[in-house]
Amino acid sequence: MSYNNGFSTLTTMDLFRVDLKSEVHLRFLLSSCSNLEWLGLCECYNLENITIENPFCQKLKYLNVSLCQQLKKLVLHNTSLETLEYKGREIELVFDAPRLTTFYSPVSDTSACHKKLWPILKLPTVLPQMETLILECSCFMGEVMKNKLPALTFPWLRHLEVIKVATFRQDLGWVAIILKTCPVLRRLELHVSLSVIS
């Protein structure tokens, strides 16, 4: 593949509702972004696979993938990436990114999530070096968390942040359980808001 030098000065690129045509087109675009540090892909389409790998994006530190509905697989082979923010349906995750230690994701209330608790159940396997986990979840996830979390261990997790929007009631009993799965946890943040439905 030939390299494109057109965007070599960019450090931030945020694509919103862009038709990316195919993975080949995305790779060609990224080949021009040698200084890119922040990449956002929001509601982009015609994209089943995202691959971020050397020699592309060697300075990339932050990747945000949000609501790309046709996405099936995210592959990261990158030595600079530090933070991944993912919002969307269940996909295959393949990570070889030793500096990737921060992960943010909403936990949905779909039936599939209740069955598999995705992506939380996958993280100890695909991202064992994770040090910071930021979860956004609703009040209906409490029982699911209680049932599935005890089987997990996050060996290096030091910072856990839970952003919780509850309706009618607050269910935080599962937080005590997740503490047992994080043997070196040093910082716990709970952001709880009550949304009243009239």
* 68 & 136 share domain: no
Residue positions counted in the chain: 198
* 95 & 167 share domain: no
Written as one letter, the residue type at 131 is E
Q: Which residues pair with 87 in a beta bridge?
A: 66
Task: Write down the mean pLDDT value for the chain.
Answer: 84
Q: What is the pLDDT of residues 99-117, one digit of tens each?
A: 999 999 987 655 555 566 7
Q: What is the pLDDT of residues 13-57, one digit of tens each?
A: 999 999 988 888 898 889 889 899 999 999 999 999 999 998 889
Give the domain-ending residue among 78, 100, 122.
Answer: 100
Q: Phi and psi of 139, rounded to 5°?
A: -70, -15
Distance separating alpha carbons of residues 83 and 62, to the nearest angstrom: 5
CA dihedral 138, 107, 101, 98 (to 10 degrees): 170
Written as one letter, the residue type at 152 is L
Q: Calculate the CA 15 to chain-centre distance.
A: 17
Q: What is the pTM of this model?
A: 0.87
Domain extent at residue 52: 1-100
* 157 & 69 share domain: no
Residue where the block lists tokens 């599935």: 148
Distance separating alpha carbons of residues 169 and 96, to the nearest angstrom: 40
* 24 & 78 share domain: yes
* 121 & 74 share domain: no
Q: What is the pLDDT of residues 129-153, one digit of tens each?
A: 999 999 887 656 666 677 777 778 8
Distance separating alpha carbons of residues 135 and 189, to the nearest angstrom: 10
CA dihedral 111, 174, 155, 88 (to 10 degrees): 30
pLDDT (0 to 100) of residue 79: 94
* 73 & 149 share domain: no
pLDDT surpasses 50 at 1: no
* 134 & 95 share domain: no
